[in-house]
Amino acid sequence: MTNERIIKVTGKGNLKIKPDMTRITITLEGQNKEYDKTLAQSSRDTEALKDILEKQGLDRTAVKTLMFNIDTKYEGYQAWDKSWKERFVGYEFKHVVKVEFDSDNKRLGRILYALANAKDIHPDFRLSYTVKDPEASKNQLLGKAVADAKAKAEVLTQAAGVSLKDIKNIDYSWGEIQFEYAPMNRNMFCNKVMADGAGAFDMDIEPDDISVSDTVTVVWEIG
């Protein structure tokens, strides 16, 4: 077996990306004593939400489910003997969805106003910004990490009086990178809802760049 001479270097890539997509993450919640009625309420609330968003120019199919769950709910109570027990209250649903659209403050102001003033449902929502083409950004980040690893390897091998040869292995985590910047949630609009009668919030938001980083470990043969 040949004893290979190798050098292993980890490179880090850093990237700042200007977000070009607006994302609104919306949570619907409700409770009922019967499972089928809980499920029916979830469906009604979801359709009501889609009605609101459709009036603001968003396609109903643009509403994408991130999480849906129905769970049992219990409450604590004190029994006649002063001991604490639990009793069944009903079923509780939680439906988290997202909508994304090209960043536009005027459109965003209309959508947030419509959500904050919804009469039939009481959605909780969170505003964030992301990028339209995350794969291109990931590839750019990966390229920066590999270039950083190579630059470090060249410095080390030059100092050691050896040379880089063929790449033997590249180790990349393939972990999920979150291209998201979240500046505010629903609570920041509560005081403005009653004062604004124009049917839209006056949004003046310039989101900060999204900063992401990742690492790549490269193994070279040296000679």
Residues 6+ positions from 26 with CB-CB distance below 8 Å: 49, 96, 97, 98, 99, 115, 123, 124, 125
pLDDT-derived band at 1, boundaries 50, 70, 90: very low
- For CA atoms 47, 50, 54, 60, the dihedral sign is negative
Averaged confidence pLDDT in the chain = 89
> What average pLDDT does this structure show over 126-154?
94
What is d(CA 33, CA 39) in angstroms, rounded to the nearest whole number?
Answer: 11
| pLDDT, tens digit (0-9, with 9 covering 90-100), for 122-134 | 999 999 999 999 9
pLDDT digits (tens, 9 = 90+) for 163-201: 999 999 999 877 778 888 887 665 555 444 443 456 777
Asked whether 220 and 151 are in contact (CB, 8 A), the reply is: no
Can you give the pLDDT at residue 207?
A: 86
DSSP state for residue 18 in the 8-state scheme: -
Q: How far apart are CA 212 and CA 139, in angstroms?
A: 12
Assess contact for 222 and 131: CB atoms under 8 A: no
State both tokens at 12.
């880090």
Query: Number of C-alpha atoms within 13 angstroms, CB side, residue 6?
Result: 14
> 28-86, pLDDT tens digit by residue?
999 999 999 999 999 999 999 999 999 999 999 999 999 999 999 998 888 888 889 88
Query: The whole model's pTM is what?
Result: 0.78
The CATH fold assigned to 18-77+86-132+180-204 is: Alpha-Beta Plaits (3.30.70)
In whole angstroms, what is the distance from residue 193 CA to residue 169 CA?
A: 57
- DSSP letter at 207 equals P
- The whole-number pLDDT of residue 194 equals 40
Whole-angstrom distance, CA of residue 92 vs CA of residue 70: 5
205: pLDDT confidence band, cut at 50, 70 and 90? confident
Question: With 80 as the cut, is the pLDDT of residue 202 above it?
Answer: no
203 or 44, which is more confident: 44
- Ordered by start, the domain boundaries in the chain are 6-15+135-174+218-222, 18-77+86-132+180-204
